[in-house]
Amino acid sequence: MLWSAQQSKVPCEPLTQHKEDLSVSEAYDIQIHNMRQRFRQGLHGRPARLVGRKIGITSKAVQNWLNVSEPDFGFLLDDMMVTHGEVAPIQLMLQPRVEGEIAFVLKKDLEGPGVTPLDVISATDYLLPAIEIIDSRITDWKIKYEDTIADNASSGFFVLGNQPRALSKVDLDLCGLSLLQNGRVKSTGAGLACLGDPIHAVVWLANTLGKMGVRIKAGEVILSGALGPVVPVAQGDHIEVLISGLGSVSCRFDEEEWAR
């Protein structure tokens, strides 16, 4: 269902509507199945490769909305990457929304369980400001926790800034976020909104993957979770995210030239 929705750009009904007892484990199995197909086929008819992971549902507000007490995670692929300052291909999206986040880029592998905040600090090469473009293959975002897991944690695209910052130079729990849509501030927040500190989110991811026998490899990107509320976007919108101590990142929503 989810794969067909992505291909047709027509959202589908929630998976939990068809299988009310869908488990978290089954939802991750669906995610992995669809990602294997994505590795083979990609978005443009050519294979995609893994470049990192994303963490979702890191705010208490969203956890309360979905009636859960922990985040979820998904894959980041190279065909999801949008270059800073350039076009995000809205013709490939269904119901896009944007979030401001902090991206961690690793210089050493992280393998749980047993990963601590100090391990994350030691393994991090640098940080970047990021825009995550979340999307849902499910009609009107009427999702439960298991639905968003199956849907690769409601992933779409992502944009990374181009000025790396050392983790030691950024106050992660207090760093402020401003998300501007067409020049107007639409969302604000801080690192505290992301599990109290984005480092905690990365710890959770490494340990959760570790229990599955998966390690996060050096060079991979981790989107650590939203610092503020999400903002819906439409064609023609310009989005800029500013994070104190990290700088800015931007993109514009339009059709890519090759698709016209």
pLDDT tens across 154-168, in order? 999 999 999 999 999
Report the alpha-carbon distance of residue 129 to residue 234 in Å, rounded: 22
Q: What is the CATH number of the domain that holds 203?
A: 3.90.850.10
Residue 246, strand partner residues: none
pLDDT at residue number 257: 55
Domain that holds residue 158: 2-259
DSSP annotation string for 155-209: --EEEE-SS-B-GGGS-TTT-EEEEEETTEEEEEEEGGGTTTSHHHHHHHHHHHH
User: Tell me: the pLDDT tens digits for 76-116?
Assistant: 999 999 999 999 999 999 999 999 999 999 999 999 999 99
Counting the structural domains of the chain, the total is 1
Pair of tokens at residue 80 = 């999801």
